[in-house]
A = this chain, B = another copy of it.
Amino acid sequence: MSEKVVSKTITIADIAKMANVSKATVSYVINNKKGVSLDVRKKIQRIIKESNYKPNTMARALAGKRTNSVGLIIPDISDMFYANIIRGVEKASGKFGYFLNLFTTHANPEKEHEVFDFFTSSMSDGVIVMTYFVGKEVTKKLRQRKIPFVFLDFPYDDDIYSVSVDNLEGGFKATNYLISLGHKKIAFVHGPEAARDSKARYHGYLKALEEHNIPYDEDLVLKGDFLRQSGFKVAKKLIENKKMPTAIFAANDQMALGAMSAFKKEGYRIPEDISIIGFDNTEASSFSKPTLTTIMQPIFEMGSLAAKTLISLINGKTPEKKHYLLKTRLLERQSCSYCNSR
């Protein structure tokens, strides 16, 4: 005679029943819409609170509303760079009441496509994309599904909302700093061939030389691959070739630190005998002996601006800017000094 009671999660219909109104009225109250008398409104609000009811996000989203979440697609989370991006995005989104869907592509083209497919199946209201292999197909897909998106650190494209770091200006700043210290023989260490950021930093280097009428010396421009080891090798080579510069600008901290240890090993004093500047402000750069002067990227701000821009787009507003090009900052530490050589 007894019926089995299956505990079901409470729905809008239940609330409606309890309040003796229709589902519609409850919905209006939930969404703060007018057309409901104060009495009824209060009653419904009370019941909602008492029964601890939470509208189902899926149903909401399906019925045309938003999910209140933004997606973030990044290659990886293994270093602080990406962790900081996440932080920035998370913080800014949180401020606007959005939550974060995180996707990592592991720098794997296949996985990247998978991720995008998932995205286009609706889940986040918009997406921030930072990835290696994105091409026109992806932006096309996103547009087709009318999913707002913002790219991070993406080559300038007038059609695409983007937030990037001004790597050229960063390279310029680094080189300029060395020049201001009296250096004229300044070496540059490249990152890997394909790296856009390294290239931009190189162009900043060139620009600074040019502006100060310092002749370009091909022998002082060296190939690296962003890894510590390559900085070490490059430094060795410079020493062997007896073509020593008075300063080195490496396209990232890792290589700068590699070079530093090579020079120290060969008896050079830093910064007395040679100045070194890096790029990125990785954690390691503040622990080296001497601590590494470097260029800091506003990573957190990058994430946070991207989120702000995206949320504007989601809400149909026009973001302040279509393209942000963020300035870097010079961190003066111990690895650079006035040029002592003739």
Contacts and interface: CB of A to CB of B under 8 A. Distances in A.
A121 B66 CA distance: 13
Interface stretch (A39-47, A54-62, A177-185): A54-62
A284 B291 CA distance: 13
A215 B289 CA distance: 40
A132 to B, nearest CB: 17
Contacts of A78: 83, 87
A139 interface: no
B121 A57 contact: yes
B69 A62 contact: no
Contact of A58 (B52, B83, B103, B123): B123
Q: How large is the interface on A (under 10, 10 to 19, 20 to 34, 35 or more residues)?
A: 35 or more
Nearest to A76: B87
Interface stretch (A94-102, A219-227, A230-238): A94-102
Interface string A71-100: 000000111101100110010001000011
B121 A54 contact: yes
A86 B90 contact: no
A122 interface: yes
B77 A83 contact: yes
Contact of A56 (B57, B106, B111, B122): B122
Contacts of A79: 83
A272 interface: no
A255 to B, nearest CB: 16
Contacts of A52: 141
B86 A77 contact: yes
A100 B99 contact: no
Contacts of A118: 54, 57, 68, 99
Interface string A125-169: 000000000000000010011100000000000000000000000
Interface string A101-116: 1111010000100010
A90 B104 CA distance: 8
Nearest to A143: B7
A332 interface: no
A304 to B, nearest CB: 13
Nearest to A100: B102
B103 A103 contact: no
Given A102-B90, A102-B100, A56 B121 contact: yes
Given A59-B62, A83-B80, A287-B284, A101 B104 contact: no
A289 B78 CA distance: 25
22 contacts: A7-B144, A54-B120, A56-B121, A56-B122, A57-B118, A57-B122, A58-B58, A58-B61, A58-B62, A58-B67, A58-B123, A77-B86, A77-B87, A77-B90, A79-B83, A94-B104, A99-B102, A99-B103, A99-B115, A101-B102, A283-B284, A289-B289
A71 to B, nearest CB: 9
A117 interface: yes
A9 interface: yes
A90 B57 CA distance: 23
A117 B54 contact: yes
